[in-house]
Amino acid sequence: MLQNREGQRVPNVTFRVRDNNEWKDVSTAELFDGKTVAVFSLPGAFTPTCSSTHLPRFNELAPAFFANGVDAILCVSVNDTFVMNEWAKDQEAQNLVMIPDGNGDFTAGMGMLVDKQDLGFGKRSWRYSMLVKDGVVDKMFIEPQEPGDPFKVSDADTLLDYVNPSAKKPDQVVVFSKTGCPHCARAKAVLSENGYDFVEVPLDNKVRGKVLGAVAGKMTAPQVFINGQLIGSADEVEKYFSK
């Protein structure tokens, strides 16, 4: 049975971490004492759900966590430090602290170590997230004990909503553009001037008309979307921010 450890202290564990080509011991006391810490734990680095959704969303929402009193966000997995370091690079997870629980000591102490030998994984962590205050578990979101790898409650949005239901989350901004387009450059400049991070999707002339016609109902670049809303061209982006 998985254990809900709300109200209990986190396990006293020392993690072996490789930092700047040197071995380093990091204790749970260093990570948790006197701090408010968000933690999410998952079955394995580079695995599908962990890489496509779980870790990226925590990294994306990190500024919102930090703005609402969270001092650090820890990603825990039963992997060695070399794997966790490479995964952090691959994910550009600059907002997260990667914790290699290689021996599974922390995960076992949390009552979350499970057997995944059928997948060739051996012992791994069940997927969960939690908020820890001064080393004591304040709240845990544990995935239901179902076959496979359920991902229903341990996501970043759920934990952030617990921290502060009114927390302002980063805007989702996409710019569909074409190479060398001055109007695209103008739209991106306006977004940057207003503090918006954006994902740019450049489209070549073979597909641009079809793609933009399908998603925006317009054929010219740029087309800008903010939180699922079509803002439109560079002129329309300027009007949007002049309101």
CA distances from 243 to 15, 132, 197, 238 (A): 51, 41, 20, 9
What CA–CA distances, in Å, run from 159 to 58, 101, 172, 207?
9, 22, 19, 39
User: What SS3 state is found at 33?
Assistant: coil
Compute CA distances 37 → 6, 32, 72, 165, 199, whole Å: 14, 7, 5, 17, 29
Q: Determine whether 50 is an active site residue.
A: yes
Residue 152 buriedness (CB in 10 A; 0-12 / 13-18 / 19+)? exposed
> Which of 50, 75, 181, 184 does the annotation list as catalytic?
50
Q: Which residues are catalytic?
A: 50
